[in-house]
Structure 1
């Protein structure tokens, strides 16, 4: 939604106020100060990058899971297995942000020692935007890749009428010398389910083809689409590539790849099976996957970054289709949003502000965003 007109009643909140609001709520819920700080950092960075679906707007869902006993906000990540080039962490049914930050940091530490490394996570919950963790690697001069299983069942597979898979994300980041890092952060569906929530909160019609009903018909009403994605009576979100059979089958395959690495390899749950077999208070048991590669294992120091700079320069220099336009590279829109939002604020739609105020009332902290 960033870069588009805001819904009536939207408040532009300073990043420091959003940070203070999230942090105060997490502390009131009983999260340790250091874990709350790490989680807040990831959530605010997500909102600054314009990924409104995965930042402060997730607090309502986190509260629901915490009050239902599915989410342990006091849990600390633990190392289960470890070798010089891999590790497996258990999140202890806690939020995914602290364990994911720890996992990518470990992956980079190991990669800088042995060339490349992978770290898996199990028994986790939602971790926000995958690109936040891929960027950790790029900032330290490594190539980073992140995949994850997801909590929800939202993707309608090729030729299916009901959803089975989640919007399993894939993120990839690579460092450069003078350009912004290349950062790809994508759902394996046409759009992430959280993006449907953002359109619902802003009362804006969805683009055609994002969400379909049980007969494959497009739903553009944001509230009906949100109901389909959250309650899932039928239909759901189309795979990446839309509804064309072969295109959707490739998006469906990417989602399976993300689950295989983030879920099956780590020993985490598969949402449809979990939803059939576990009780309502059982943790989500999500799995995540983090990979880091030191370019120096393949190239002389600086050679990879220099070549990638040349590639990005060539892409940026491509003649635009429209006069005055600009050819973008993955990561450019998010970094532009970050600059703009640090200056102008993070948009808090009226509906979201009202829900956050209710959370503050329930946990006894001041409401800081309006």
Structure 2
């Protein structure tokens, strides 16, 4: 089924209002989810809405957080999200990073005591709007086994780097540091389809295509899948995200991260507060004039787009390009949702006495 962007936006705002969010926070949280769907990242859009409600019902999400800076220097800060929606806490932190960058050239904010913050790209792109380079990363539910292990120790731990350009759209490198995001497994589960080999291993450490393997004791694999194909690099990237997001801020890290997924229970021996994020912004004109940078970014993009291709591919895909194409298409045709997601959303509508989709 396909729904218009305004219809899903209003529905999503109403759910957040129903759990007690302010109008401002409800609009912001809905915007993060809808932007994900519009960019074709269905795993992190409204399909996640029931997960946030579930955590709120378990009193793990505070709908009215008092988000505060708890440590600060001229160019850095640590933010405590007061168990708020990461969809709200992360933009708060990015605004601080950008304000510091405006004054000092760069700003860096580590966050503790937060929750799932949606797509990294949303937060990094906030900086691009101010002619800054944006950084956003977060740790997440421990579902990924490090290289040579079958114990779930890390999250999918996504990271995003966003660079402004001139005549071209921004370059947006937004990716999980695991072989695949957990949301893609959820999409496969709803569709009843197997997942590609190399995404996941069973509880004995063997490759499996079963999208339900995580619930049976299996684990996601780092980017690269195994050592022979570079999984130690994915493990290293994920570790970097975990340390910057949590060890630096005072959030939980590694296997102590409180999970977003329903089949894992929160740890009984936390080492920090909530989950952690790391946001950053750098002024382009701290390095060279903005116009010069954008001219050369356009040249960079043009040259890569003209690179020789293989197997009949039309051109090299610039990071962020597929999401932009999805946004253009969905602006015209609407946002497609699978039946299982529609059913979930309509159950939420019943739960709060709201109009169904």
Q: What is the TM-score with the length of structure 2 in the denominator?
A: 0.93
Q: Which runs of 5+ in 2 are unaligned?
A: 258-265
1:295 CA displacement = 1.2
Is 2:174 the counterpart of 1:185?
Answer: yes
Native 8 Å contact 2:251 2:272 kept in 1: no
Matched, 1:265 2:248: yes
RMSD after superposition? 1.8
- For 1:1-370, what aligned pairs fall within 5 Å after superposition? 11-150=1-140, 152-222=141-211, 224-225=212-213, 228=214, 231=215, 233-245=216-228, 247-273=230-256, 275-278=266-269, 285-323=274-312, 325-368=314-357
CA distance in 2, matches of 1:347, 1:356: 13
Structure 1, unpaired ranges of 5+: 1-10
Q: Do the aligned residues in 1 keep the contact of 2:159 with 2:174 (CA within 8 Å)?
A: yes
CA separation of 1:324/1:237 partners in 2, compared to 1, >3 Å: closer, same or farther?
A: closer
The Cα of 1:69 is off from its aligned counterpart by: 1.1
1:138-158 deviations in whole A, cap 9, x for unaligned?
1211001111111x1111111
The 1-side partners of 2:233 and 2:333 are apart by: 39
* Aligned mates of 1:42, 1:64 — CA distance in 2: 18
CA distance, structure 2, for counterparts of residue 138 and residue 94 of structure 1: 25
Q: Quick one: distance in 2 between partners of 1:283 and 1:343? A: 45
Higher relative contact order structure (alpha carbons within 8 Å, sequence separation ≥ 6): 1
In 2, distance between residues paired with 1:299 and 1:67?
Answer: 49
Distance 1:198 1:284, change over 3 A: farther
CA deviation after TM superposition for structure 1 residue 68, in Å: 0.9
C-alpha displacement at 1:162, in angstroms? Answer: 2.4
CA distance, structure 2, for counterparts of residue 35 and residue 112 of structure 1 = 25
Whole-angstrom distance in 1 between the partners of 2:181 and 2:288: 36
SS in 2 for 1:277: coil
Q: Does structure 1 conserve the Cα–Cα contact (< 8 Å) formed by 2:253 and 2:272?
A: no
Rate the CA distance shift 1:219–1:44 in 2: closer, same or farther, 3 A.
same
What SS does the aligned partner of 1:359 have? helix
Corresponding residue of 1:3 = none
Normalised by the size of structure 1, how large is the TM-score? 0.90
Instruction: State the alpha-carbon separation in 2 of the partners of residues 273 and 221 from structure 1.
Output: 26
Q: In structure 2, what is the Cα distance between the partners aligned to 1:333 and 1:346?
A: 15
